[in-house]
Amino acid sequence: MSFKYTSERQTVPTASAGPGHGSEPSNGARSGIVDLSKANLDINLNISSSSSSSHTLPTPNSRGTLPSFPLISKLGKMEMASRIVYPVNENWEFKQADKEGSEYLPVSQFPTNVHLDLLAHKLIPDPYIGKNELDVQWVGEAAWAYRTSVKSPAVGQSSKAVLAFDGLDTFATVVLNGKTILETENMFIPERMDVTADLKKEGEENELVITFDSAYLRGWKLVEKYPDHKWGCWNGDNSRLAVRKAQYHWGWDWGPALLTCGPWRPINLEVYESRIADLWFDIDVDKSLKTATVMAHTSLEGKASNVGFEISLDGSPVASQVVNADSSATFTIQNPELWYPVRYGKQPLYLITAILEEDGKVIDTMSKKTGLRRAELIQRPLKGEPGTSFFFEVNGIPIFCGGSDWIPADNFLPRISRERYYDWVKLVADGNQFMIRVWGGGIYEEQAFYDACDELGILVWQDFMFGCGNYPAWPDLLASIKCEAEENVKLLRHHPCIVIYAGNNEDYQYAESVNLTWEQDNKDAESWLKTDFPARYIYEKILPDVCREYSPSVHYHPGSPWGGVDSHDPTVGDIHQWNVWHGTQEKYQNFDKLVGRFVSEFGMEAFPSVKTIDAYLPLGKDDPDRYPQSSTVDFHNKAEGHERRLALYLVENMRYAPDPLEQFVYCTQLMQAECLASAYRLWKRQWKGPGREYCAGALVWQINDCWPVTSWAICDYYLRPKHAYFTVKREMAPLSVGMTRREHKHPRNKYTRVDIETKIQIEIWGSNLTLEDLTVDCVVKAWDVETGRETYSETINKEPLILPQNQSTEIAAFKVPEPKKEEGIDAHRTVVAAYLVNPENGVQLARYVNWPEPLKYLHLPKPKHLRAELSEEYTTVNVSAEVPVKGVALESEDDGVRFEDNLVDVVPGEVISVKVKGAREGSVVTTRYLGMV
């Protein structure tokens, strides 16, 4: 039999939600009624008395031609009302609660926070401009009240009314009609309160007031309440450790201190007798990839007789089934359409819908999209090196996870739109990156973020929200953390992009730095709570237990970094490599000596776009502080010691000056670009194929900013890429060629300081991240850096080179060509370029230009014929020069002009074509390069 469901469910229309929050529930579920009779599917079901039923689906040649099969349903006779959802997003007002005479004012949007509302009424200056951050600190130490009125809906005798708060930031007291119904202490926990008995009669207005206490002050009171805990942290202050709130709100070494509060996620009033509380799936893709088993589950509230499940793909039905309300449904899909990371396949998303039904009437529905994929973290012994691998394999494909770390995209979260999330993730995907790590000092991100990762094929490393400190563990806090973990894993577990959960960011590293008690051999979890490092109980007991119960197919990792004898062990697990910039401040040319099995953080600072600097200077281009060392520009760099460290890496590598500002900004971006490209290039060299995955990932700190600032980001707050974005993009291309030069000294005896033979050698390798072996030729050319004279040009392989799929392969190692050494053109003034070309037609497939370093020693000529010409169709810029030019940057005053590549090294005899979007008649493209000023 098949049944046609008719729905009485309603969602009451209201004004649209605030930016970043669409009409969909914030748990990623979509509501809608699915007519199972339209599935026209045919299958035999065997329903047992157990809590789940299972069947195997025949595989169609096309989704539209599946044969029909009967659906089995056990219908009750009880008539029930459908769930009605009333968004509570209108007529909100706010005021300062602890200020006498303060009056309510309308909010700027909903959801919202207090800074956004104060900004809208011009009651505070924009904290992103100048030093205004200092002038708004009082906001975080005040109490704030929000109120609205809600008209009482009709509530049937057997129905209930529930206020659902998706997110309250953070210490909130909720009062309905004068009665306190809820008190919260955790920003990350959604709350639901039965208010059936608290609402007035149908049609009457109900006053809803939410008062938010200062998280900063409450945090310090908790610190004082627990004096025996060994408080300590990096970034912010100790009060943050006591508060379950986004930790970066206390300020970080890239972001301002802005202690927000308010209803930051949607609020709804729901009326129902029964509802679907959650919909989730256990998915198992067979190792052969020929079958996928999908077990669909619901958790229900109230009474209902049946749950119908429907699976569809691109709007076409795949399977459906009706089971008893307390049962699950199991589907076996033959030849499933699998979800792959970007570049390795498509990202099909199956829509799975649950329909709660009684007596032929739909009571509630919930839909979620998911992808079918087999994802594993492979940790196994390696050939010839100690430790174990640490790489992700998706559908049998090992992935070199070049990517980025992610921080919240704004300090004021409610104004991040769904479109902005998509634009950020699209920037990552377009940059040839495979993975984003959601860092543990921010938030469990909005569904829009993970939806974009699902759609664009970006893998997600998901931290839990703990970072850089020694967190306390009193019983009530542990209970709150457990609830937080459960609720957020349930919200995220349907996303195929998520391939790992990690317990924290750098908390083990902090524990080591201050010698907290961490005996790895001690497995008695309860005893950890009695040490001065009680948070170990969170990371190694609470969180893994939650993940095991609610998302068992995703790997749990206790922290980042974590593994081996300590958090710095490069042979096991992941490491954060900060000995460039922080730590021992190594030269970035030595990144090959700083490798780990998976480097989940590393970075280098650079100034943002000059346009971004002009945007935060109070007077823009006319501001007297428009120079690199000004107090305002310094204020927009939160990294301790940034002046010394930026200066160190600049002065080690290139000639530069602070004026003009535009050239100084360019030099910092060139330096960052060279640094990060060096890391990706040298570490990807260690991706050497099966059994030799010596380095399997490099996640740069960081992709984005939360405000306009000088930081480690490779794209600034306004999504403007720095030049490092493009060098990383080139290094992570499907096919790339790498080169390094090394100096080898051979003394004639052990005493001499004079009789020493010095050889400068280049090493060349190819990195093929595609899934097919490639046949190439390798052409090497060399030029005199000072005159542009070509000194060498050879195809260095006698037979075609085979670059095996999905690994890096050594090509050659030989002395830097010096055929004109007697004329003074030695290795120290020789630029060498390597090209991979198609041996059949000579088409260039990859290129890399290697320069003598440090660049500051070179006598770089100013080109007389540097050209950057727009094509007639305005779709490409053709760049050429008569001498070698380091780091040619293409620029345009028009923000609508976007280059798909940038910061290219130009050598004589070559025209580099850079694709461009947004250019038109009248568009002007200018250039900047090293040595220009």
Residues serving a catalytic function are 506
> Token pair for residue 180?
């306190």
Question: CA-CA-CA-CA torsion for 812, 814, 817, 821, nearest 10 degrees?
Answer: 180
Look up residue 726 and give its amino acid. Answer: F
Residue owning tokens 């010698």: 515
The length of the chain, given as a count of residues = 933
| Spatial separation of the C-alpha atoms in residues 742 and 492, rounded to whole Å | 47
Neighbour order of strands in the sheet with 328-334: 52-56, 328-334, 291-301, 275-285
Q: How many CB atoms lie within 10 A of CB 537?
A: 21
| Spatial separation of the C-alpha atoms in residues 636 and 253, rounded to whole Å | 10
Residue 866, classified by CB atoms within 10 Å of its CB into exposed (0-12), middle (13-18) or buried (19+), is middle
| Spatial separation of the C-alpha atoms in residues 864 and 849, rounded to whole Å | 21
Beta bridge partners of 928: 889
Which residues have CB under 8 Å from 520's CB, separation 6+? none
| Spatial separation of the C-alpha atoms in residues 461 and 495, rounded to whole Å | 12
| Spatial separation of the C-alpha atoms in residues 791 and 369, rounded to whole Å | 58
Which residues have CB under 8 Å from 13's CB, separation 6+? none
Exposure string for 800-809, b = 16+ CB within 10 A, e = fewer = ebebeebbbb
> Token pair for residue 608?
């943002």
Strand ranges (DSSP E) for 29-140?
52-56, 84-87, 93-96, 105-106
At residue 329, the 3 state secondary structure works out as strand
| Spatial separation of the C-alpha atoms in residues 882 and 860, rounded to whole Å | 13
**Which has the closest alpha carbon to 918: 853, 874, 863?**
874
Tell me how far CA of residue 885 lies from CA of 239, 245, 674, 793, 880, in angstroms.
51, 49, 15, 19, 9
Q: Dihedrals φ, ψ of 314, to 5°?
A: 55, 35
Report which secondary-structure segment, H or E, holds 423. helix 418-430
| Spatial separation of the C-alpha atoms in residues 825 and 783, rounded to whole Å | 9
**Which has the closest alpha carbon to 498: 542, 442, 556, 544?**
556
| 3-class DSSP string for 802-842 | EECCCEEEEEEEEECCCCCHHHCCCHHHEEEEEEEECCCCC
* Rg of the Cα atoms in the chain: 30
**Which has the closest alpha carbon to 600: 696, 716, 736, 479?**
696
First to last CA, the chain: 80
| Spatial separation of the C-alpha atoms in residues 94 and 535, rounded to whole Å | 37
DSSP conformation class of 141: G
**Are β-strands 328-334 and 52-56 bridged in parallel, bridged antiparallel, or unpaired?**
parallel
At residue 713, the 3 state secondary structure works out as coil
